[in-house]
Amino acid sequence: MSLQGAAGAEELIFYVNGRKITEKNADPEQMLLSYLRKRLFSVQLTGTKYGCGGGGCGACTVMISTYEPASKKIRHYSANACLLPICSLYGVAVTTVEGVGSTKTRVHPVQERLAKCHGSQCGFCTPGMVMSIYTLLRNHPEPTSEQMIAALAGNLCRCTGYRPILDACKTFCKESICCQRKANGKCCLDQEDDLFDKEEKVSTRLFSTDEFQPLDPTQELIFPPELMRMAENQPKRTLIFHGERMTWISPVSLDELLDLKAAHPKAPLVVGNTSVGPEMKFRGVFHPIVIAPARIPDLNVVKCTDDGGNIISRKSTSDLNPILAASNCMLNLASRGRKRQIPLSDIFAHGVGNNTIMPEEILVSVHIPHSRKGEYVSAFRQAPRRENALPITNAGMRVLFEEGTDIIKDLSIFYGGAASTTICAKQTCWTLIGRHWNEQMLDEACRLVLKEIALPDSASGEKVDYKKTLIVSFFYRFFLEVLQSLKTMDPCHYPGIPMEYRSVLQDFKTKMPQSIQIYQDIEPSQSLQDPVGRPVMHLSGIKHATGEAVYVDDLPSVDGELFLAVVTSTRAHAKIVSIDTSEALKAPGVFDIITAHDVPATNEFYYSNDPEIIFARNKVICVGQIVCAVVADSDVHVKQAAAKVKIEYEVLEPVILTIEEAVKHNSFFEPKRTLEQGNVDQAFETVDNITEGEIHIGGQEHFYMETQSVLAVPKGEDKEMDVYVSTQHPAIIQEMVAATLGVPANRIMCHVKRVGGAFGGKLMKAGLLASVAAVAANKTNRAVRLILSRGDDMLITGGRHPFIGKYKVGFMNDGRIRAVDAKYYINGGCTPDESVLVAEVSLLKMDNAYKIPNLRCWAYVCKTNLPSNTAFRGFGFPQAALVTETWITEVADKTGLPPEKIREINMYKENEQTHFKQKLDPQNLIRCWNECMEKSAYHSRKTAVNEFNEQNYWKKKGIAIVPMKFPFGLGTRYLSQAAALIHIYTDGSVLLTHGGIEMGQGIHTKMIQVASRELNIPMSYIHFCETSTSTVPNACASAGSAGTDVNGMAVKDACQTLLKRLQPIINKNPNGTWNDWIKEAFEQSVSLSATGYFRGYNENMDWEKGEGQPFTYFLYGAACSEVEINCLTGDHKNLRTDIVMDVGCSINPAVDIGQIEGAFVQGIGLYTMEELKYSPEGVLCTRGPDQYKIPAVCDIPEQFSVSLLPSSQNPYAIYASKGIGEAGLFLGCSVFFALRDAVTSVRNERGLKNTFALNSPLTSEQIRAGCADDFTEMMTNDESASSTPRAVSV
């Protein structure tokens, strides 16, 4: 059948939220996500979000419903809209978050509960969460908690730490959700008095389930009857859609498919588009024709699993391939006029060059044989994260014994993830036939398999040694499984395996976590209307859940709007020889190209000696630096054109990527900083012992769910411009854009409604990107939209600073630490950004909770050819304090005392001074520590951990408790000033604005709580519209946990000014209502608008003298975490975490506990999972959720409790609260040290007494290497191992 034979393009018919869509020119390259957001109806459905574009984050989840006429069943699936071609939706009903419910019609129970349980912070991931839960409930109205956890496995959230989202989910689950934490199996809530001091009035409820509306399945949208009729009555016919560059063919019979494959052997078959989609999107693969076989009834066998594609493409990452191959499955293949059956294992026989399957053949079905008597089959995998991650290595193994014996008759072993396709250890299997299943065979098998399976040095930088260790560890695990099965079959002949080995046969499973949150109740005397201290829901919570909350890219398109894409450097250090834009300018839809020559005024900003640069001029200093930009009429066209810009480089030396290289070339940003107290050198002479070491701490990507976004709209007169930006600091955007365009700041209006997560990453970088968009808008005189793709965002923006800490510590035999000499090297990247400030903060906060009498520390910021690193939640403290806790633990190892003893001995005890001579009162530090010890039952659990470890050889538990002192302050007064503006209208409603930015931390909610208390009116009277430079000028950044502290003071000031003016009127008519008073005030010509101002905290630091008062107050906390590791794979599970945090008097306990949990889980990511990898040329390899793993639902502790320290006061901040945003992140290292504890117990048991260094992130690879055994030993003796590294540790 020829393509021309089909009549013109088809009409694509499907439904969205109950409305019929007839698309006359469906483009096969158009994905549902961009279709919904940009093309659909007169209204754009922007509730479905772009998070990564690769199906890895779940922000774009929608529900797909299909009707199967044969079974008369309607099926619902959740799907990632970013990978779903619209052409695949013929006859399908799509439901988006807007179709589930809205504030205008009815809010659905899923949306309501997610919001009221505080399950949204920045709200960007919330619509995707809603859709995953909603789809599950459409299929299972009363799901089990296992089903619920599985439904959320593909949804990432960077703010909440998942606990409140799961709380909302539990309300739909049928089984009891009690924690049964008490020894007698009762719920901890029934016995509150045991948990707390009698006199403290505490609460554990953050929401009330009584107000939830019930879930009523009869109220859902029905499946469109027209689609049912179409499916039942219309004869199926082939569909063909022609796009701009691509043709989509959807045949309806197997014969027709075979004809198509004969005519177009190179055309891929697309079902789920999870393989072809990402290839086309990220690897530049292009297919002029694709064939979609999903509508062919005979192929349903494959359709349900959608793994046919993985088999045919021989994907090495497929988890099914090794097990199907090992099980002797058969493939039924067909091509025109020919059918045949081949063993699946054949297609992996000769590696990549294998051409067993012809291009014109298709896979019709997979035949899976029944297992026989005496046959055992198993599968194994190890991935960077348990859920939603491709494997590092996986395996499928099968053994068949001679009847009634343990003599191997047949053996097959397949590995995936090791090479570019699934591989078979054929020689090994042949050699072992006829052997007994015993230790001798095991030893031989391991040697043979290592010899046979040669691993290439993979480009992704996975360490080859780890993969090899897994290869033999998996075989050993299979060996144990089979021994155990033989025993079950014939206990007389086969002894099975020792008790202490058995636990390793169980993989870690993800369970629904149990959690408890404890906070201090408000005083009974507090007025019912006063919201301060109550767990008020985030004011945008419902709008987050219905998708109505507007982010920058959700703003409707402006007439004539252009899209901008940046062209970035591909060299780390090079001269720009030429930029050839001719091809790009010819591309369809292209409007113009913007370079440094188009910048009217400032292109380089000198905030210190080295500039921050908008467009590279003559040379580039890192991969990912912006060289020029393309503007075009659509996001598709602009990306295609940007790829056609050709830049020629001449490489410059040296290329410096790592801290070590920077030290070698003496490449630093000035100034270098140092702090010293006591006499360090003398102290080292008097101590009993000295330990020295170093620790490497990797960087961290912010991974805010909303990528960097700007919309610049020229006003057309007086050079005015509106700039809508996702930023933490509108004032710097205004300043930079104005300077770039050479206009006064009063012509640039910067608007921020809300930000989809920031964590420090939307300060300076957002300013540079806004300037790029503004220059383009200025040149073209059109509105310009710049939304970075996830890959570009990760490549361009930099993140947390990689760190090397070197230390020398002098201590006494009783554990007292007398002297510390520490040096910190920080990888700053190619421009200064905030790096020197980060270095200063790491020196000021490095003591954590400990009093060290003699201390000297240095900080050096390395200048390298990496994208500039920047602010990130915690700002140097999480790295510096990890170094400190590392030497604390090392002292414990050396003295033989438990780590918690060393921590207690050296902790700040009474009113003392820090190493920079600021006074502190550590009373609450000690309270947090003691309460955490008690609440976590540390000592009894430590004993239980030791017992477990004695009884289990291949699995170990570890436990650790870590204290924290987190100083609050920004170092100089002017950085913490703030202003607010309040208008009261004559109907009594109040409009409030201030300089703070809402990025998930609930600042607007808290500010309205403050105004409600001050003005003594209900919160419902008060509205917050947006943060804008035209209402509050010169506002400081929302950073450093200070947003609520400083803006709260300003709001309070404005309210008090207004109340003072109203007081005479209130005194005259004390029984009047608010509205009476306002009306009267207007009639008496009393001004109903006021600004409020806060001068900032009086903070200062003198680096010459090494002393000062850089901080205003201190937050304290402690966390105890318990983990379990699998010594064979390095995998681990977070079992339990208890956190006690001193946050003063919480203004909103729900928000504050959410901040602590969210930061803690981000800390788990930093210290145990998130690994950035660069190529030796300085190119970032981890550019999206596929390669870079942030914590998912499966990573949070199975038991998770957070208590706010009761009756704590803070005289310095609004209503005695404390700034809580950053502190919790460091507590994630309690998991790091629990893992270290588990690895230590492995090493002690195996007699490995030498000290060992663990770096951060402590991934499964490091854990496995730390658990040294016969298998890791084989690596050190293996000649073929580790040659040149493919990944650079920066």
Residues taking part in catalysis? 1222
> Cα separation of 95 and 76, whole Å?
10
DSSP 849-899: TB--SEEEEEEEEEE-SSPPP---TTTTHHHHHHHHHHHHHHHHHHHT--H
Task: Label residue 754 left, alpha or beta by phi (over 0 means left) and psi (-120 to 50 means alpha).
Answer: beta
Both tokens of 179, joined, read 């924690």
Backbone angles phi, psi at 170, to 5 degrees: -60, -30
Count Cβ atoms within 10 A of the Cβ of residue 747 and give its class: 0-12 exposed, 13-18 middle, 19 or more buried: middle
The encoded tokens of residue 1092 equal 């409020």
What are the φ/ψ torsions at residue 317 (nearest 5 degrees)?
-85, -5
Q: How far does Cα 887 stand from its chain's mean position?
A: 29
The answer to whether 1151 and 118 are in contact (CB under 8 A) is yes
Amino acid identity at 992: L
CA atoms of 111 and 127, how far apart (whole Å): 9
Token representation of residue 574: 């090079």
SS3 165: helix
Give the C-alpha separation, 835 to 839, whole Å: 6
Q: Where are the alpha helices (DSSP H) in 264-319?
A: 276-282, 300-305, 308-312
What single-letter DSSP state applies at residue 454? P
Return the DSSP state at 85: B
User: Are 865 and 774 contacting, i.e. CB atoms less than 8 angstroms apart?
Assistant: no
Query: Three-state SS for 637?
Result: helix
Supply the DSSP symbol for 31.
B
Q: Retrieve residue 1101's tokens.
A: 């630091």
- Each residue of 905-935: b (16+ CB within 10 Å) or e? bbbbeeeeebbbebebebebbbbbbebbbeb
Q: Read off the tokens for 787.
A: 């939304």
- CA–CA dist 1107, 1097 (Å, integer): 17
Q: What are phi and psi of 1260, to 5 degrees?
A: -55, -35
Whole-number Å distance between alpha carbons of 518 and 1143: 12
The C-alpha atoms of residue 158 and residue 795 are separated, in whole angstroms, by: 19
Which residue matches tokens 């509106």? 722
| Number of neighbours of residue 103 by Cβ within 10 angstroms | 12
The span from the CA of 1032 to the CA of 754, in Å, is 16
| Rounded Cα gap, residues 1200 and 1218, in angstroms | 22
The C-alpha angle with vertex 1151 and arms to 1147 and 1154, in degrees rounded to 5, equals 140
CA–CA separation, 265 vs 1250, rounded Å? Answer: 60
345 touches 414 (CB < 8 A): yes
3-state secondary structure at position 1259: coil
Label residues 387-410 b or e (16+ Cβ within 10 Å = b): ebbbbbbbbbbbbbbeeeebebee
Give the separation between CA 202 and CA 200, rounded to whole angstroms: 6
Overall residue count recorded for the chain in this entry: 1290
CA distance 844 to 841: 5
